[in-house]
A and B are shown apart, each in its own frame.
Chain A
Amino acid sequence: RKEVEQDPGPFNVPEGATVAFNCTYSNSASQSFFWYRQDCRKEPKLLMSVYSSGNEDGRFTAQLNRASQYISLLIRDSKLSDSATYLCVVLTPFSGSARQLTFGSGTQLTVLP
C-alpha cells in the first residue's frame, strides 16, 4: 500500500467549476500535511498547508480528517491557470527525531475554456 494515495485523474473541468481532490495516508504518526502544485516539467510549489480545523485561501479550501487519515482540497470557480498536477504531501517520522516529506503521485487537473 502506498504511503500517500491520490486519485491520479485526470480531472477535466470547465472554467468556473468546483473540483475536489482526495488523498489518504497510511502512517497515523504523520504530523503535517500540505498540498503542492506542480506544473508540467517544473518543480513542485507549496499551495497550502492543511490544518485540522480546515483552512481556506481564496478559492482553495483544505480539510483534514485525522481519524480517517484523509485530506481534501476543494477548488472553487476554477481558472485556466489552475491546470496542473496537485500533490498531496505528508510529513512523517523518519528515524529518530527526523521527519521527511512523502509525496502522493498527484492528481492531474485540466481546466477547459
Chain B
Amino acid sequence: GAVVSQHPSRVICKSGTSVKIECRSLDFQATTMFWYRQFPKQSLMLMATSNEGSKATYEQGVEKDKFLINHASLTLSTLTVTSAHPEDSSFYICSAQLAGEGETQYFGPGTRLLVL
C-alpha cells in the first residue's frame, strides 16, 4: 500500500518556539493532504486540508496564523506550529489522498509534540 512518512516522530520544545512537521508521500503523488490533531482519549480532529499549490482550508476554530501549512509539492506538506504553547501538546497526524483512488486516505505515523 501507499506509504506516508512524518518527521519528526517526536519533538519536545520550549514554550514560544516554532516547530515544523513534515509529511511526505513516499511512493505516490498526493494532490490533497490532511492534518489532524488528537488529544489523549479523544478523536482525531481535522485541522486543515492542504492542496498542492494553493492555500490550505482550515477548520473552524483552527488559527491559520498559528498553524502554518505549506504544500509545495505533490509529495510534501509541512505544518509549522508557531509560538507553541503547552496546550498545543498533542499527537499530530497527516494523511495523504492518492489521486484517482477516490477518498482513500493513507495516514502517516504521527508526530508527538510536547511543549514545556
Contacts and interface: CB of A to CB of B under 8 A. Distances in A.
A101 B93 CA distance: 13
Contacts of A101: 34, 46, 103, 105
B10 to A, nearest CB: 10
Given A43-B109, A98-B49, A104 B43 contact: yes
Given A32-B103, A91-B103, A41 B46 contact: no
A100 interface: yes
Contacts of B110: 41-43
Contact of A100 (B49, B93, B109): B49
Contacts of A44: 44, 93, 107
A11 interface: no
Nearest to A85: B41
B5 to A, nearest CB: 11
B102 to A, nearest CB: 8
B42 interface: yes
A42 B46 contact: no
Given A98-B49, A100-B49, A45 B44 contact: no
Given A43-B110, A45-B107, 17 more contacts: A41-B91, A42-B110, A43-B108, A44-B107, A46-B104, A87-B43, A87-B44, A95-B57, A98-B49, A98-B57, A101-B46, A101-B103, A103-B45, A104-B43, A105-B41, A105-B42, A106-B43
Interface of B: 34, 41-46, 49, 57, 91, 93, 103-105, 107-110, 112
